[in-house]
Structure 1
Amino acid sequence: MPIRPTDNPEILSMRGLNLFHYSYSNCSMRIRLFLDEKGIPWNDHFIDLRAQKNLTEEYFAIHPQGLVPALVDDGVIVYESADILEYLEEKFPEPSFTPDTAEGRAELDKMLEFTRSGHFPVIKTWAYGRNNKPTKTPESMHKLEVLQKDNKWIVDFHKETMAEGGIAEEKILAAEKILKGMFADLDERLSRHEWILGDQMTLADIAWIPQYALFQRNNFPFEPYRNWIDYVARWQKRPAYVSAIGNHMPGSMELPY
Structure 2
Amino acid sequence: MKLYNFFRSGTSHRLRIALNLKGLEAQYVPVDLRREEHLGEAFLALNPQGLVPALEVDGEVLIQSPAIIEWLEERHPEPPLLPRDAQARARVRALAAIVGCDIHPINNRRILEYLRKQLGQDEAAVNAWCGTWITAGFDAIEALLAADKERGDFCFGRAPTLADVYLVPQVESARRFKVDLAPYPLIRAVDAACGELDAFRRAAPGVQPDAG
TM-score of the aligned structures, taking structure 2 as reference length = 0.83
Asked whether the 8 Å contact 1:22–1:48 carries over to 2, the reply is yes
SS in 2 for 1:50: helix
2-structure distance, mates of 1:111, 1:83:
17
AA of the residue aligned to 2:76? F
Say whether residues 1:117 and 2:117 are aligned partners: no
SS in 1 for 2:46: coil
Further displaced range: 173-182 or 197-206 = 173-182
Say whether residues 1:159 and 2:144 are aligned partners: no
Paired position in structure 2 for 1:244: 203
Higher relative CO (CA 8 A, sep ≥ 6), structure 1 or 2? 2
Paired position in structure 2 for 1:220: 179
Unaligned runs of 5+ in 2: none
Q: Tell me by how many angstroms 1:48 deviates.
A: 1.0
- Identify which of 27, 35, 39 aligns with 1:51: 35
Identical aligned residues as a percent: 26
Deviation digits for residues 38-64 of structure 1 (CA, Å, limit 9, x no counterpart): 221111111111121111122112222
AA of the residue aligned to 1:161? R
Query: Radius of gyration: which is bigger?
Result: 1
AA of the residue aligned to 1:44? Y
Unaligned runs of 5+ in 1: 1-16, 125-134, 136-153, 250-257
Point out 4+ residue stretches in structure 1 off by more than 6 angstroms: none
Asked whether the 8 Å contact 2:21–2:79 carries over to 1, the reply is no
Distance change in 2, residues 1:192/1:113 (3 Å): same
Q: Tell me by how many angstroms 1:174 deviates.
A: 4.4
Paired residues for 1:165-244 under 5 Å: 165-166=121-122, 171-172=129-130, 174-188=132-146, 192-194=150-152, 195-244=154-203
SS in 2 for 1:61: helix
Further displaced range: 27-36 or 174-183 = 174-183
Distance change in 2, residues 1:177/1:202 (3 Å): closer
- Identify which of 50, 70, 73 aligns with 1:89: 73
Distance change in 2, residues 1:246/1:186 (3 Å): farther
Tell me how large the CA RMSD over aligned residues is. Answer: 2.6
